Amino acid sequence: MLESISGALLILVMRIGDVSIGTMRTILVVQGRKYLAGIAGMVEVLIWVFAIRYIFQNLDEVLNLFGYAIGFGLGNIIGITLEQKIGLGFAQINVISRFASDKIAETLRNQKYGVTVLPAQGVSGELSLLMLIVPRKHQKKIIASIELIDKTAFITVQHSLPYRGFIHGARK
């Protein structure tokens, strides 16, 4: 019984590893980091092959299948959590504030972030759209700064893949 449990735990750990790496690899592919994605893919598949080999050598152990499935689920959770902590790449943050656009822009510029202010027209009249391209690892801090000034600001965040030019604050 102890051998069955240890085998299932081994598979679980291998699946957590390969799925976590796979999550990171997918993000690296989206960001065009082909060499890092290639290395991550190689490690991911190698771990997976060892896990599946162990399962096939012990097909009569049902616990191994549960280890495989649970490891897959946990690997997704851990991979996403790790990526969010690392914050690879850039994000575009768009902000619409009815009354505090100037104060938000000034605060973020004082924090060394580049803010582009665009005139916009909403249903209630003229307003400003603030746009920032920032390292993703700074995203939470920036949103917290905005919310300190205007809790009702409309904020959107999307992945950004800068093509050319200078991104203010990217060298902090």
Give the span between the Cα atoms of 69 and 11, in whole angstroms.
9
Task: State whether CATH 3.30.70.120 applies to domain 90-160.
Answer: yes
- Kindly state the tokens that stand for 14: 């291998």
Helix (H) or strand (E) holding 156: strand 154-160
Which pLDDT band holds residue 27 (cuts at 50, 70, 90)?
confident
Q: Does pTM top 0.75 for this prediction? A: no
Which pLDDT band holds residue 160 (cuts at 50, 70, 90)?
confident
Q: What confidence tens digit (pLDDT) does each residue in 88-106 have?
A: 888 999 999 988 999 999 9
When the pLDDT of each residue in the chain is averaged and rounded to a whole number, the result is: 91
Give the span between the Cα atoms of 99 and 101, in whole angstroms.
6
